[in-house]
A and B are shown apart, each in its own frame.
Chain A
Amino acid sequence: MSTRSGGIIFPKILLIYIITRGITAGVYFAYCAIFNETGGFEHVFGRWDTEHYMDIVNNGYHLPNRADGMANWAFFPLFPICCRGVMAITGGALSAFWCGMIVSNICLIISSYFAVKLIRERGLTQKERGFVFSGLAGDGLLLAWFLMLAPLTVYFCVPYTESLFVMLIVLFFYAAQKEMFPLAGIFAMLAGATRSVGLVLVIPLIMAMYTSYKNETGSGNIFKYIGSIFARPSRLLSILLVPAGLFGYMLYLYYFLGDMLAFVHVQYAWRHEKFLPVVGVFKKYLFSLEEPHYMISAWICIAVFALYVWMFVKGLRKEAVFGAVALLIPLSSHMMSTPRFISGSFVVWMGLYYAIKCMKSGAAQMISVTALYAGGIITIGMWCAQAGFVM
C-alpha cells in the first residue's frame, strides 16, 4: 500500500487547479470573442440550476413563482447552506453567485487532494507506466487532472452541487478505506443532504465493513457479520447516520409544505412523461435521432455501465456498485442530465484513471487522455454556448 506525505500532493494540486482554471478562462474568453457574448462571467457561468441555488441562498425555500411549477425545494439544502455560510463570513460583501463559486472551487481542490490520496492508499498508483503519467500527472495526480479538466467536470467549478457532492463522496471512500467508519457515515449523511443519491453510499459502507470483518475474523459468514454490526455500536451508528441528512430535509419539507416527499413530487414540473424504469427510458432514447443529446446520453450510460462492470471485476467493487446504483436511480425516470450525474458520482473518474493505467499501449493511453482533455474543453465551450447536453 502506497502512502505519501500530504505535503507533496497539495502544491501540485494547486498548480493543476491554476492551469486548468486558466484553460477554462481561455475557453470562456474565446467563446465571448467569437460569438460576441457580452452578458459577462456571471451570466455565462450562473445559469440553469445555479439560478435555483442562488434563489435558495437569497430567499430560502418558497412556493414557485412560475407557471411550470419548478420549485426550488427540488434542490437539496447543504450546498445553499454552505453558500450562506460564506456569505455570512464575508459579511454579505459577495453575491450568492460568488459565494457559490468559492464553495464549489474549494470543494474541487479538496476533492482532488483526497482523491489522489485515496487511490494511493488503495495501491492503484503502483507501477504507473507511460508518458501520460510523467511530470505533474504522475503518482495518481492524473486523477486530479480528470477532476479538473475531463468532460463534464465544468460543473465542479460553477455554483452547482456537484463539487460539494464529489468532495463528500471522495471523503467517504477515503474514510472507509481507513476504516474510520463513523466518519464515513458522517460524510455519507452530508452527501445525502446534498443530493438524495447520497443515500446510496450506505451500500459501499456495508461492503467496506464486511471486508474489514473478513480481515479481522477470517470468516465471510454473512449472518455472523450482521451480528457483528449490532455488537459494535460504532459500526451500527455509522450505518444509521447515512440517511439522517435526507430525513432531516424530509422533516423540513413536512413542516414547510405538508409533504415529506415534496422533493420527489416536484419532479413532475420538470418532466411529465412516464417510462418503465430504466428499460423504458433506454427504449425511448437509445435510437432517438429526434433528440440526439438524449441519444448520446443513453450510449454514454451504456459505456459507463460497462466500465463499472470492469471496475467490479478488477476489484474496485464498492466504487462500481455505488456508481451503478447511483446511475440507475435517475434512469428510473428519465435520461435528462445523466452525463452530469455520472460525472458527479466521482467513481467514473477513478475507474477511467485505473483503466488507462492498465492499458499496455502507451499510444492508447495518450489517445485516451488526449480525448478526455479535448472532451473537457469542448464541454466547457458547450456550457458557454448553453448546449442542452450539458444542462
Chain B
Amino acid sequence: MIKQKITLAVTGLNNTDNPGPGVPVIRGAKDSEELEVRVIGLVYENLEPGIYMENLCDRIFQIPYPSSGSEGLIERVEQIHQQEKIDVLIPNFDAELFSFMKYEKRLAEKGIRTFLPTLEQFQEREKDKLPEYGEKYGVKVPDSINLGSLHQLNEVASKFDYPIMIKGQFYDAYKCFNIEQAIYAFHKVASKWGLPVIVQEFVSGTEVNVVALGDGSGTTIAAVPMRKQYITEKGKAWGGITLADEKMLELTRVLIQKTKWKGGMELELIKTSSSDYYLIEINPRIPAWVYLAVGSGQNIPEALIKLALGMEVKPMKEYKIGKMFVRYSYDMIVDLERFAAISINKEI
C-alpha cells in the first residue's frame, strides 16, 4: 500500500517530568501504516527535549507564546507554513488551544487543518462550571462550591465533611483535612490562579482516566481506559495500565455523543468502592500518556490527523487489556550547535 505523504506540525515537545504530549503524538503518527509523516516541531523554548531527539522532527521552529498575543503566534505559524506547507497542526498545550480555536478558520483557509473542540465545548467544561456540566450531560460530579472570598469557607464546613479538595480555576489542587489547611490552600490557589477558588467534595476511590477521540458528530472514534499505577509529585502518571471497564467506556461514549465532542480528550474520573464514577476533570486535548493507547491498538494521533484531513475513520472498538506504560528518563548527549541554532536562528 502506498502511504499518503503529509506534513504534520506539533507543539509540546517538552518531555520533562511534567511532559507535554508532543513526542508521543509524533510517535503515534510515525507508526501509521497509511501515512508517511514529515514532522515540523514547534517549540517555545530552547531546551524542549524533542528538539534534541534523533529521528523525531524533520524541521524545528521556535514560536512565540500565545500570551504575547494570538496574532503573533498565528502569523509565525503562517510564515512557517509558506516554507514547509503544513497539512495538519496538532497543538498540545492547554494555554495555546484558545488561540488556535479562535483562528481555526483562518488557518484552514491557508490549508493548515486542525481538529479542535469548539470554543463552547472548551468553555463549558471549565472547572468552576463542573456542577452545571454534570447536570447538563447526566454525569456524576463531586459537589462543589465556588468561593469568592475567604469568609465563604465557613459555609463550606456545614456542607461538606473533611477532607475537601481546594482547586484553582486552571491548575493546582490540594487535599485539606481541616479548616487551617483549607485557609492555607485558599490563599495559595487564589494568589496564583485568582478567584473563584473551587471547593470540591472529596470523593474517595481510585483515579482512572480515559483517552478518547470524538469526531464532532457524536461518535466516539477511540477510547482507552487506564489506571495510573504510580503518580509523581507533580501528579503525573509514571506508569499506567489499560483496563477492561465497560462502564467507563459507556460513560465516555455517552458524553461524547451528548456533547458532540470534537478532537482529543482526557477524562479524569474517580471510581468509588461501590463502582460509581465521578467525573473530576476534562482535559480538552490528547494527554501525554496517549502512546499507551497507540501501543494497545488504538492509534489516536493517526486517527485525529485523518479526521483533520477529512478522511473517513471507522470507530476503533478493540484494544489490548493489561498493556502497561512505564516512563523513563534518559540523558541524551547533544552538541552545543543545536542549542545555538535554535537560540539564535529560531529554526533547525
Bind each other: no
